[in-house]
Amino acid sequence: MKRLFSIFLSLLALPAILMAQGGSMLQFDKTVHDFGQVLISEGAVSCVFTGTNVSKQDISIMSVNTSCGCTKVNWTHGIIKPGEKLKISATYTNDEGPYSFDKTLTVKVAGQTKPIILHMRGISQEKIRPDSEIYSFRFGPIGMMSDSFKCGNLEMGSSRSEQQTIANLSDKPVKLSFEDLSSGLSLEVKPNPIPASGKATLFITVNAEENKWGYNEYFATPVTNGTKSNEKIKIVAFTAENFTSLTREQKQLGSRPVFAESTFSFGHKKQGARITATFTCTNKGKQELVIHKADSDFPGAIPSTFPVLKPGQEGKFTVSLDTSALPKGEALVMITLTTNSPLRPIVTLFLAGIID
């Protein structure tokens, strides 16, 4: 149960990677520093992010929060005038491996609503492994660490980006392009062609299209030196309604879903049992409550259509769960609701129990 719950937390807190800096007062030279392979014996590893004040006013960093105590950070304090630069220095202790790490730095800028998220990534190992083992998902001569990437949370009408290191596993330069891209997806590779036995960065950008709520999958087919792959890469992103233009008072006037219980406990059930979970919700806001979409992290859980609730109205929402594909032991299924509520744009419900 703890393992499943930690997976839920990682999904719920999908990183706001490479936030749309068009609306940011502070622009960094990079938002991801990839160390590649590092040996545990090397000890701590450090990097520097350099930011520029691209606004027309003085700014300052309020705080830089790290994702865990294994990362230490220092930054330029005081006023940064328009055009001036600042530095954020970060050190990862590198004593938790061997494993792949992705440590985040959440930068809060005075006068800017949304924080900027910076990433320190790498693979901590006891000995260096060949690239063919690290970048094991093959698309012709190109190797990737995975064929599926997350692009974080975004709001309707905005865009979000992610970047991944990829490898040319051949002894000749490779030109990489993509075909059959899903609507709203764009990809760019730098450098391109990728040098023989070299690395490149794959820049992934998802644009949130109208009425494409919740978790969505985007696909593209790699083409290497003119040869189209038989396999596709997948990008997953989450889209919520955009409330950034609303004042605090306007947000208070919106809908507000309040569930009697956020977890439906089904106790002990034999594997293969079918369960109907019922959740009761009251709209305690001042406008109609609309659930744009209900996503399940388990294909055997099918959410019902959620009724539109007027202010003060109560309604019921059900989830049909087929436990046939759930492993025996503790089970936790997550349902994510994307709503029109400025105060609760995302609501998470759970089905929990034990499969015998």
Averaged pLDDT of the chain: 91
Asked whether the beta carbons of 216 and 164 are under 8 A apart, the reply is no
Cross-strand pairs, 205: 161, 186
Quick check: helix, strand or coil at residue 121?
Answer: strand
What per-residue confidence (pLDDT) applies to 114?
85
Spans in the chain with pLDDT lower than 70 = 1-23
Q: In this predicted structure, what is the pLDDT of residue 70?
A: 93
Q: What is the per-residue pLDDT for 4? A: 42
Contact between 128 and 100 under an 8 Å Cβ cutoff? The reply is no
Long-range CB contact pairs, 70-75, < 8 A, 24+: 70/95, 70/96, 70/103, 71/103, 71/105, 71/120, 73/105, 75/107
**What token pair was written down for 50?**
């350099």
Q: Give, in degrees to the nearest 5, the angle at Cα 211 between 205 and 212.
A: 40
Q: What pLDDT sits at residue 211?
A: 87
The answer to whether residues 129 and 169 touch, using CB atoms and an 8 Å cutoff, is no
Q: SS3 breakdown of the chain: % helix, strand, coil, rounded to 5?
A: 10, 55, 40
111-to-33, 59, 60, 108, 226 alpha-carbon distances in Å = 26, 8, 9, 9, 48
Cβ proximity of 336 and 236 under 8 Å:
no
Cβ neighbours around 322 below 10 Å, total: 15
Cite the DSSP H helix spans in 16-94. none
How do residues 169-218 score in pLDDT, each as one tens digit? 999 999 999 999 999 999 999 999 999 999 999 999 999 998 899 999 99
Q: Strand 199-207's sheet: what is its strand order? A: 137-139, 142-144, 159-168, 199-207, 185-190
Res 22: pLDDT: 40
159, 20 in Cβ contact below 8 A?
yes
Instruction: Pick left, alpha or beta for residue 70 (phi over 0 → left; psi -120 to 50 → alpha; otherwise beta).
Output: alpha
Domains annotated on the chain, with CATH: 15-128 (2.60.40.10), 130-240 (2.60.40.10), 248-355 (2.60.40.10)
For position 20, what pLDDT does the model report?
33
